[in-house]
Amino acid sequence: MSMKTSHVVLFMFLLSLTGMISPVFAEDPYLYFTWNVTYGTMSPLGVPQQVILINGQFPGPNINSTTNNNIVLNLFNNLDEPFLLSWNGIQQRKNSWQDGLPGTNCPIPAGQNFTYHFQVKDQIGSFFYFPSLGMHKAAGAFGGLRVNSRLLIPVPFADPADDYTVLINDWYTKSHSNLARFLDRGRSINRPAGILINGKPGKDSQGHDQDPLFTMESGKTYRYRICNVGIKTSLNFRIQGHSMKLVEMEGSHTVQSMYDSFDVHVGQCFSVLVTADQTPGDYYMVASTRFTKYMLTGTGIIRYAGSNKPPSSPLPPAPVGWAWSFNQWRSLHWNLTASAARPNPQGSYHYGSIEITRTIKLVNSVGMVDGKRRYAINGVSHKDTVTPLKLLEYYRVTEKEFKYNVMQDVPPAGDAPINVQANVINATFRTFIEIILENPERSIQSYHLDGYSFFSVGMGAGKWSPESRKKYNLLDAVSRHTIQVYPKSWSAIMLTFDNAGMWNLRSNLLERHYLGQQLYISVMSPARSLRDEYNLPTNAMLCGAVSDLPLPKPYTI
Chain positions contacting ligand NAG, by CB under 6 A: 2, 36, 38, 64, 66, 74, 76, 78, 113-115, 148, 154, 156, 255-256, 335, 337-338, 404-405, 426, 428, 524, 539
CB atoms within 10 A of CB 457: 20
- Nearest approach, Cβ of residue 407 and ligand NAG (Å): 12
- Nearest approach, Cβ of residue 427 and ligand NAG (Å): 7
Instruction: Read off the DSSP letter of residue 73.
Output: E
- Nearest approach, Cβ of residue 394 and ligand NAG (Å): 14
Closest to 12 (Cα-Cα) out of 102, 179, 4, 504? 4
- Nearest approach, Cβ of residue 224 and ligand NAG (Å): 13
- Nearest approach, Cβ of residue 223 and ligand NAG (Å): 11
- Nearest approach, Cβ of residue 88 and ligand NAG (Å): 19
Taking the least distance from each CB to ligand NAG, the nearer of 19 and 526 is 526
Written as one string, the DSSP assignment of 437-463 is EEE-SSS-EEEEESS--EEEEEEEES-
CA–CA gap between residue 24 and residue 21 (Å, rounded) = 8
Taking the least distance from each CB to ligand NAG, the nearer of 154 and 466 is 154
Taking the least distance from each CB to ligand NAG, the nearer of 145 and 510 is 145
- Nearest approach, Cβ of residue 405 and ligand NAG (Å): 6
Burial class (CB in 10 A: 0-12, 13-18, 19+), 455: buried
With beta carbons less than 8 A apart as the criterion, state whether 518 and 377 touch. Answer: yes
Taking the least distance from each CB to ligand NAG, the nearer of 117 and 373 is 117
Closest to 513 (Cα-Cα) out of 410, 364, 406? 364
Query: What single letter denotes the amino acid at residue 414?
Result: G
- Nearest approach, Cβ of residue 258 and ligand NAG (Å): 11
Q: What angle do CA 81, 85, 88 make, to 5 degrees?
A: 150
Taking the least distance from each CB to ligand NAG, the nearer of 148 and 468 is 148
- Nearest approach, Cβ of residue 280 and ligand NAG (Å): 24
Taking the least distance from each CB to ligand NAG, the nearer of 278 and 328 is 328
- Nearest approach, Cβ of residue 200 and ligand NAG (Å): 19
CA–CA gap between residue 363 and residue 72 (Å, rounded) = 38
Give bridge partners of residue 57 from the DSSP assignment: 54
Taking the least distance from each CB to ligand NAG, the nearer of 128 and 486 is 128
With beta carbons less than 8 A apart as the criterion, state whether 256 and 156 touch. Answer: yes
Closest to 297 (Cα-Cα) out of 168, 210, 176, 211? 168
Taking the least distance from each CB to ligand NAG, the nearer of 153 and 474 is 153
Taking the least distance from each CB to ligand NAG, the nearer of 397 and 524 is 524
**N-term to C-term CA, the chain:** 35
Q: Would you mind telling me the total number of residues written for the chain in this entry? A: 557
Q: What share of the chain is helix, strand, coil (3-state, %, to 5)?
A: 15, 40, 50
Supply φ then ψ for residue 189, to 5 degrees. Answer: -90, 0
CA–CA gap between residue 83 and residue 112 (Å, rounded) = 10
CA–CA gap between residue 75 and residue 129 (Å, rounded) = 13
- Nearest approach, Cβ of residue 289 and ligand NAG (Å): 30
Task: Please compute Rg for the chain using Cα positions.
Answer: 23
Taking the least distance from each CB to ligand NAG, the nearer of 114 and 284 is 114
Taking the least distance from each CB to ligand NAG, the nearer of 69 and 507 is 69
Taking the least distance from each CB to ligand NAG, the nearer of 375 and 497 is 497
Written as one string, the DSSP assignment of 15-48 is HHHTTSS-GGG-PPPEEEEEEEEEEEEE-TTSS-
- Nearest approach, Cβ of residue 62 and ligand NAG (Å): 7
- Nearest approach, Cβ of residue 26 and ligand NAG (Å): 16
Strand extents, DSSP E, 329-453: 358-369, 372-377, 380-381, 419-420, 424-428, 432-439, 445-449
Instruction: Read off the DSSP letter of residue 545.
Output: G
Instruction: Read off the DSSP letter of residue 193.
Output: S
Burial class (CB in 10 A: 0-12, 13-18, 19+), 317: exposed
Taking the least distance from each CB to ligand NAG, the nearer of 66 and 508 is 66
- Nearest approach, Cβ of residue 77 and ligand NAG (Å): 10
Residues 6+ apart with CB under 8 A from 262: 226, 236, 237, 238, 244, 246, 270, 272, 328
Taking the least distance from each CB to ligand NAG, the nearer of 405 and 547 is 405
